[in-house]
Structure 1
Amino acid sequence: MSRRTDNRHRVATICREATGLPHHVCMRWAADGLISRGQPVPDAESAAQRAFEAQIVTELAQELRHRPREGALFGFVSGVPTRGGLLLDIHPAMADEVLAAVLPRIDEHYGGLRGVPGLRLTPLGDSWALMRVGGAALVRLRPPRADWQPSLPEHGDGLTQLWRRSRHRQHPAESSAMSAWSCRGSVGEAHALDWLNSRLLRRPCLLNTVVATHGSADTYTHGSMDLVVEWCCALRAAELERRLRQSGLAHRPAGVAAHSRDTPWFPGEIGMGGAFVSLRSGTCRGR
């Protein structure tokens, strides 16, 4: 085997383990130059697409907290990441919960907007699409079966479903939330967070290794610039960190400046440009 072919196999293997794509597809991507040792999983090209994917991750991390993960950390079992967009295979047992988490609504008890501002759900051929109203960002969802229909939340119990009330334009509360998202942290740090969280969404199979044994995990944020993943067993945090780094998660793209948080402060931290993810593995208790 030539060195070039051997390198392609290594890159393809990393891509397959991160996304769940067939090895031959990843091999073709490597041969076509779509993936490389530096970036074995394709990034989203546009800033709007990265921001949309990052917001989906942030909302799922918060809304699924203390919930069973059914073997899928964010509700997705595999994915097809491309430069122009993202297709995710949604877990059948988590599909409705994932949609309820990301669809925007006003919560009178919570006191504000929850969900991803401007996100709308629409059928798209044999799949469904999460789209940003008034923009080009889009994440396709492949349903668990051909006849699957989502069970969508209604108004009530202090909730106003904005995606039902304002289907084709943003509600003022969504516009305000979008402005707040754009102003979080410094410009460089916010830009880095979009890169980092978008990349996490594009590596579902790697993330799902933490829930492969018991399905028990927790995710949350401390604010706007971090994401915490905690789990009871399966592989150790150091091993997941190694695999995520190998997959190009922390590879700093052009335009993202170095930051003090790029050097881990604690074991299991992966930082880039001021944004970071913390990986924390524990032990099983009474299992």
Structure 2
Amino acid sequence: MSRRTDNHHRVATICREATGLPHHVCLRWVAEGVITRRQPVPDAAGNQALQRTTEALIVEELCRGLREEDQRDGALLGFTHARPGPDGLLLGLHPAMADRVLALVLPRLDELYGGLRGVPGLRLVPQGGEWILTQVRGHAVIRLVHPDPVWRPRLPEHAPGLTQLWRRGRRRPHPAEAAELERVRQGGAQDWLNSRVLRRPRLLAAAGAAHGTANVYTHGGGDVVVEWCCAIEPAELEERLRRSGLAVRPPDVEEDPRDRARPPGVIAMGGARVSVRQAPCYAEIVTDGPVD
């Protein structure tokens, strides 16, 4: 095997391990220049700031709302595989988490306690037998696939004090959404990082390999923290994420001096960060013999 062919297979292997795509698809992408050794998983293109922001906000909402009891089989954000592209993203839903994931990311107005929940402007649209998440304010597309071809989401209806905004208008945002959309950042370094996290579900799954779950959360600034007890070592997961191009700085992101002073387990880029940590294991210990 020539050195060039060997390098192509290495890049394709990184892509497959990160996304869950078949190796031959990733290998074709290498040949076509879609992916490279520097960036083995396709980004949302540089001019697709809204796509990145939408993907990043989905990650943020899932980090806030999903709990370990919601997770199954290492699908820490509810997705089993991804097919990322420059202009959009396809995500495979875990069947046991699909409804919960959508209920968290679709926008709703909590009039009882105040505030907007979910991703502002996000809408769920049936299209040709598929379900697609779109943005009312512009072009952002996330296609959803489910193992059951006739699956239909079972989602909350309007309730006293809680309005499901995504059910009200597919083309125009609610005033509460419009206000939030004006406030939301777009095109920053954390958007790049979080969008890339969403496009690498199989790498995150390594943190949940032992128990099927992990603690995934955010401090509120959009950063992602993944915390788990057993299975892969943090240094190895960090290395896999870096090898997949997670921290490669795009042209529109300036270097931040804090990036170089990062502690172990922190992947930093342009002041944004993703952290991977090990925590104590609280799993029940089962013994073969009687306990005194």
Provide TM-score, normalisation by structure 1: 0.94
Equivalence for 1:14? 14
Does 2:70 align with 1:68?
A: yes
Aligned residues: 281
Equivalence for 1:186? none
Stretches of structure 2 that go unaligned for 5 or more consecutive residues are 285-292
Q: Secondary structure at the match of 1:137?
A: strand
Shift of 1:178: 1.2
Contact 2:60-2:222 within 8 A present in 1 as well: no
Contact 1:220-1:228 within 8 A present in 2 as well: yes
Does 2:194 align with 1:233?
A: no
Counterpart CA distance in 1 for 2:114 and 2:272 is 27
Q: Secondary structure at the match of 2:225?
A: strand
Contact 2:108-2:164 within 8 A present in 1 as well: yes
Contact 1:43-1:81 within 8 A present in 2 as well: yes
Please show how residues 1-287 of structure 1 align to structure 2 within 5 Å.
1-45=1-45, 46-71=48-73, 72-182=75-185, 191-287=188-284
> What do the CA deviations read for 1:91-134 (whole angstroms, capped 9, x no partner)?
00000000000010011344200100000001122321000013
Provide TM-score, normalisation by structure 2: 0.92
Q: Secondary structure at the match of 2:138?
A: coil
Counterpart CA distance in 2 for 1:14 and 1:229 is 20
Amino acid at match of 2:86: R
Amino acid at match of 2:142: V
Counterpart CA distance in 2 for 1:65 and 1:107 is 20
Contact 1:261-1:276 within 8 A present in 2 as well: no
Contact 1:261-1:275 within 8 A present in 2 as well: no
Equivalence for 1:187? none
Counterpart CA distance in 2 for 1:36 and 1:53 is 22
Task: Indicate how the Cα distance of structure 1 residues 157 and 216 shifts in structure 2: closer, same or farther if over 3 A, else same.
Answer: farther
Contact 1:88-1:141 within 8 A present in 2 as well: yes
Contact 2:223-2:274 within 8 A present in 1 as well: yes
Equivalence for 2:289? none
Contact 1:103-1:116 within 8 A present in 2 as well: yes
Counterpart CA distance in 2 for 1:95 and 1:260 is 40
Amino acid at match of 1:230: E
> What do the CA deviations read for 1:246-278 (whole angstroms, capped 9, x no partner)?
000000010110013322532210011011011
Counterpart CA distance in 2 for 1:34 and 1:203 is 16
Q: Secondary structure at the match of 2:236?
A: helix
Q: Secondary structure at the match of 2:63?
A: helix
Q: Secondary structure at the match of 2:188?
A: helix
Amino acid at match of 1:55: L
Amino acid at match of 1:17: E
Whichever of the two has the greater Rg, that structure is: 2
Greater alpha carbon shift after TM alignment, 50-59 vs 213-222: 213-222
Shift of 1:68: 2.9
